[in-house]
Amino acid sequence: MAIPPSWIVKTGRSIWTQIWQLMMSQLAPPNDRGEYQRPPSEFRHRIEGKYAPQPRRYRLYVGWSCPWAHRTLVVRALKGLEDAIEIIILEGDANAGGWKLPKSEHDCQTLAQLYRFAVPEYRGRSTVPMLWDTDTYSIVNNESAEIIEILNSEFNDYAKHPELDLAPIALQDSIAQWNETIYQTVNNGVYRCGFAQTQAAYDKAATDLFATLDRVNDLLATQAYLCGDSLTLADIRLFTTLIRFDVVYHHLFKCNRRRIQDYPHIQAYLTKIYQLPGVAATCNFPTILQDYYGNLFPLNPGGIIPQLPDLSYLG
C-alpha cells in the first residue's frame, strides 16, 4: 500500500502537534525551555497540635501506579502500621480527569471533590498520596516526602516495628543530600524525560538521569544502601522509581539508554528492597502498566497496553 500523500501527512502532523502541545500544557506545565515543572504540594501540616498521633484516625489515599504514593505504602509496610493507618486505593481515570474513589464519601466520587469538600475554595491539583484526618475531615498533608517522614517517626506507639528508624540522626545530612539528587535527576528526572516538550529539555533530563544512575551503580558496588549499611528514606524514595523503570519509564518516557537490569549493582539493590517483608505486596505491576499506558493519552494515543517485561530477577 502507498503511504498517504504528503499533504495529508503534513496536515495530520500539524494538527496533532497543536493538540499534543495543548494537552501537555495541562498535563505537564513546562517552562519557556520546554522543561517539565512539577508544581509544589500545597498541604504541609505535620502530626502536631490539633493533629494528634492516634491509631485509626488517619487515612492514606493512594493509587497503585503513583510512585509518590508508593513511597508511603512501603514505609507503612516496613514500620508495620497497617492496623494504625487505613489506606484507600483510588483508581486512575483519564476520562474523569483524575483519581476516582472506590465508593462515595461525603457525597464525593472523586479525589478532587474530596479536596474541595475539605477546602471549598481549593482549585489546585488533587494528588496522591494524601493523608486525611477522619476526626476533622481535613487534609493533613499531600507531600509524599513529608508523609513518609511522618510515618517513620510519629506513630511508633502503634507500629509493629517501632525500632526501625529510616531517618536516624547520624545519617540525616547524607539522606538530605541524596534526596535532593534523587528527586531532581531520577524521581522527577524520568518525568522530565517523558514530559519534555523540546529536544534540548529531553537531552538534558536524560543525561542527568543516567549520570545519577551510573553514580549510584558505582556506589552500590561498595556498600549496601545509599547512606551506608542502613536502609533509609532516601532508598525508599529511589526504590519506587527504580521498580517502575523497566516496566514503564524505559519505553514510555524514552529513558531507553539502559534498563535497570543492565546495572548489576542497582539490580541487586532493587531486588534486596523488593524482598523485604511487606514490600512486594505494595508493587502492583499490572495496574502500573495499565495506568501509565492507558491514562497518559498524549504519550500513548493508540492506547495499546504492552505486556509486562520479564521481572523474574526480583524473585
Q: Which of 36, 51, 66, 115 is catalytic?
A: 66
Question: Is the Cβ–Cβ distance between 155 and 82 less than 8 Å?
Answer: no
Q: How far apart are CA 131 and CA 143, in angstroms?
A: 9
* CB within 8 Å of 31: residues ≥ 6 apart: 37
Q: Tell me the residue length of the chain.
A: 315
- The region that residue 41 occupies, defined by phi over 0 for left and psi between -120 and 50 for alpha, beta otherwise, is beta
Is 255 assigned a catalytic role? no
Helices (H), 87-188: 111-118, 144-153, 172-182
Q: Which of 122, 158, 183, 191 is catalytic?
A: 191
| Cα 182 versus chain centre, distance | 12
Is 191 assigned a catalytic role? yes
Q: How far apart are CA 212 and CA 158, in angstroms?
A: 37
Helices (H), the chain: 6-27, 67-79, 111-118, 144-153, 172-182, 189-194, 199-219, 233-244, 250-252, 264-274, 285-295
Q: How far apart are CA 54 and CA 48, in angstroms?
A: 11
Q: Take residue 33 and report the three cell numbers written for it.
A: 525551555
Closest by CA to 36, choosing from 240, 184, 242, is 184
| Dihedral sign (CA 40, 41, 43, 47) | negative
Catalytic residue IDs: 66, 191
